[in-house]
Amino acid sequence: MATMNELYQGIIIEHDRSPRNFRTLDAPTHSGEGRNPLCGDEMSLQLVVDAEGVITDVGFQGRGCAVSKASSSMMTAAIKGKTVAEATELFDQFHALLTGKDADRTALGKLVAFEGLGAYPMRVKCATMGWHVLKDVVGHKS
Amino acid sequence: MLRSLDYAGSPSEPASLGMTGLREQFPILSATSRGKPLVYLDSAATTQKPQVVIDAERDFYTGWNANIHRGVYEYSERATVAYDGTRATAARFLGGVDADEIVFVRGTTEAINLVAQSFFRPRIATAGATVLVTEMEHHANIVPWQLAGATLVPIPVTDAGELDMEAATRLLAARPAMLAVMHVSNALGTINPIAELCAMARTHGVPVLIDGAQAVGHFAVDLPALGADFYCFSGHKLFGPTGTGVLWGRREHLAMMPPYQGGGDMIDLVRFEGSSFARPPERFEAGTPNIAGVIGLNAAMQWVMAQDTRAWERHDRELLELGRHLLGEIPGLRFIARPADAVGVLTFAMDGAHPHDIASILDGEGICIRAGHHCAQPLHVRFGVPSSARASFGPYTTEAEVRALATGLQKVRELFG
């Protein structure tokens, strides 16, 4: 299992430096914000969901640690092109991965790289912050 | 001269900035974390415990555990004497106040809530609702006043992380109902000019509560010289157990204050038509208290009083200067503030590296620091940062540990480029 420093040296620093979909959308169908009161981190997420329920575009903005930023970045890349139902199912798998439960590793794809974070429970909420905002956002239209 | 890093042992060879024989009294300090020697730099969050404190609690539970008051048998009597006897230790520890002015609480937070509800709130009608606080206060010295109906007015903090005393003078002259101020800042380490503030408050007839949580573990507190109305601290920041604390209040204040919580032990007479209450301090101690904890706290205060706290202060100051120097050389690191009169606290931010990432990288090296707002959100707003990283020292902290922190932060710098 990767140590925290190996996690940083791998995906985290890379996505922290060049986060994917780190932008504001012009015409989102869904938007929302999340905050971690423990660290003061903030994040906003916007989606464009079409009539078939497919997430056709996604953008996020925010201020947070490298773990939350990298995880949010990879989340946006993973959910683009998926339906809302598939995306929320992916969160369940991601959560299972980080809490040491059986997870569908094929479905998770690149997100498996976060597995080592499960050994650091205090940082799991950093990695799931974006996903929690996603779950909240798909519940309300903008 | 630089020394090689040696954490785990060699009690016969203290580091150049070390307290001889002190570290060995703390069993946890020879432990490892993440497979590395533990470098504990989070004493502002909680201090480690010397063996005498651990022994005191263990001995009580293994040898003579019983509830206090009302039991006439030997063990209950012994527990009662030990519990109530700790008031005399606390009174001595605080520089010589009266033992019956000592109220045991769960910690500083409960002490402030108690004063806010039982002293401040009943006086709003006559004294007004304004409570003067400072921009550097811990949430524990902000929220309890708000819950009690206060309108808070903060004394500003300067760029150096010190109180703006001109503003304090002006704001005290407006005669707020109360001044509530921390002795030492948990977030910046600033030692506030408490005696001066108390003297000013006194001329305007403003009662003062001092949050001493961060002071008692660093230097001796002399309450008669300070001139406050209430002073409180937590046992766990004084090498004692969690869930213990002391509120000292002037006898005349405690005497007129209504109970904070109701229950056993705080009563005089209980009838369905109504009840009457015990005298202070018992009036404020409803229910079975943390007996074992108070016995541990007694051991902690006795232990501190047997130490050379003047030497602690010099050691703390030397480590602070070393830390400021070493960290100051790291590119992209900036201190939130550098107060002139301070205890061993280094609070900083690094370009491109979030405090939680800094703390996680250091954690991988066995180095424990804190990241976040340190329960001082308004102070972080004042300095325009959402959060910060904080390393804080205890008397057992060594020069080698401060150097290990600097080395760890160099790694963070390399990682985040």
CB contact under 8 A, A4 and B373: no
Q: State yes or no: ipTM above 0.90.
A: no
What pLDDT, on a 0 to 100 scale, did the predictor assign at position B114? 98
Nearest Cβ partner for A67 among B357, B363, B387: B357
What pLDDT, on a 0 to 100 scale, did the predictor assign at position B9? 36
Classify residue B244 as left (phi > 0), alpha (psi -120 to 50) or beta: beta
Query: Which chain A residues contact residue B377 at CB under 8 A?
Result: 40
Smallest Cα distance from B412 to chain A, Å: 10
What pLDDT, on a 0 to 100 scale, did the predictor assign at position B347? 98
Secondary structure class of A44 (helix, strand, coil)? strand
Q: What sign for the dihedral angle of Cα B365, B371, B375, B379?
A: positive
What pLDDT, on a 0 to 100 scale, did the predictor assign at position B16? 52
Angle between the N-to-C axes of helices B399-416 and B355-363, in degrees from 0 to 180, rounded to the nearest 10: 120
Q: Which helix (H) or strand (E) holds B234?
A: strand B230-234
C-alpha B34/C-alpha B366 separation (Å) is 6
CB contact under 8 A, B356 and A67: yes
Any idea where the domains of chain A sit in the sequence? 4-137
CB contact under 8 A, A67 and B364: no
C-alpha B184/C-alpha B226 separation (Å) is 14
CB contact under 8 A, B360 and A8: yes
Q: Which two tokens stand for residue B326?
A: 């070493």
Which residue in chain B has the smallest CA separation from A35? B386
Determine the CATH number of domain B53-305: 3.40.640.10
Which residue in chain B has the smallest CA separation from A69? B354
What is the CB neighbour count within 10 angstroms for residue B304? 19
Q: Which two tokens stand for residue A115?
A: 């597995």
What pLDDT, on a 0 to 100 scale, did the predictor assign at position B115? 98
Q: For the purposes of burial, counting CB atoms within 10 Å of the CB of B24, is it exposed (0-12), middle (13-18) or buried (19 or more)?
A: middle
Q: What sign for the dihedral angle of Cα B362, B367, B373, B379?
A: negative
Closest CA to B139 of B381, B414, B402, B353: B381
Angle at B258 between CA B254 and CA B261, to 5 degrees: 110
Match domain A4-137 to its CATH number in 3.40.50.40, 3.90.1010.10, 1.10.1370.40, 3.40.50.300: 3.90.1010.10
Which residue in chain B has the smallest CA separation from A5? B361
Q: Residue B152 in contact with residue B145, Cβ under 8 Å?
A: yes
**What are the residues of chain A with a beta carbon less than 8 Å away from any beta carbon of chain B?**
3-5, 8-9, 13, 38-41, 63-67, 120, 123, 126
pLDDT tens per residue, range A63-122? 889 999 999 999 999 999 999 999 999 999 999 999 999 999 999 999 999 998 988 888
Any idea where the domains of chain B sit in the sequence? 23-49+308-416, 53-305
Reported confidence tier of residue A35, pLDDT bands at 50, 70, 90: confident
* Interface contacts A/B by beta carbons within 8 Å: 49
Smallest Cα distance from A126 to chain B, Å: 9
C-alpha B168/C-alpha B240 separation (Å) is 34
Reported confidence tier of residue A31, pLDDT bands at 50, 70, 90: very high
Is B232 in the active site?
A: no
Q: Name the CATH topology of B23-49+308-416.
A: Aspartate Aminotransferase, domain 1 (3.90.1150)
Per-residue pLDDT of chain B (417 residues; tens, 9 = 90+): 333 333 333 333 344 566 778 999 999 999 999 999 999 999 999 999 999 999 999 999 999 999 999 889 999 999 999 999 999 999 999 999 999 999 999 999 999 999 999 999 999 999 999 999 999 999 999 999 999 999 999 999 999 999 999 999 999 999 999 999 999 999 999 999 999 999 999 999 999 999 999 999 999 999 999 999 999 999 999 999 999 999 999 999 999 999 999 999 999 999 999 999 999 999 999 999 999 999 999 999 999 999 999 999 999 999 999 999 999 999 999 999 999 999 999 999 999 999 999 999 999 999 999 999 999 999 999 999 989 999 999 999 999 999 999 999 999 999 987
Nearest Cβ partner for A4 among B353, B360, B416: B360
Smallest Cα distance from B168 to chain A, Å: 29
Secondary structure class of B224 (helix, strand, coil)? helix
Nearest Cβ partner for B354 among A3, A64, A120: A64
Mutation target among A6, A7, A8, A9 for the B interface, most CBs of B within 10 A: A8
Smallest Cα distance from A38 to chain B, Å: 7
**Distances, alpha carbon B89 to alpha carbons B82, B100, B295, B361, in Å:** 10, 11, 11, 42
Reported confidence tier of residue A141, pLDDT bands at 50, 70, 90: low
Q: For the purposes of burial, counting CB atoms within 10 Å of the CB of B313, is it exposed (0-12), middle (13-18) or buried (19 or more)?
A: middle
What pLDDT, on a 0 to 100 scale, did the predictor assign at position B5? 34
Which residue in chain A has the smallest CA separation from B416? A13
C-alpha B119/C-alpha B148 separation (Å) is 10
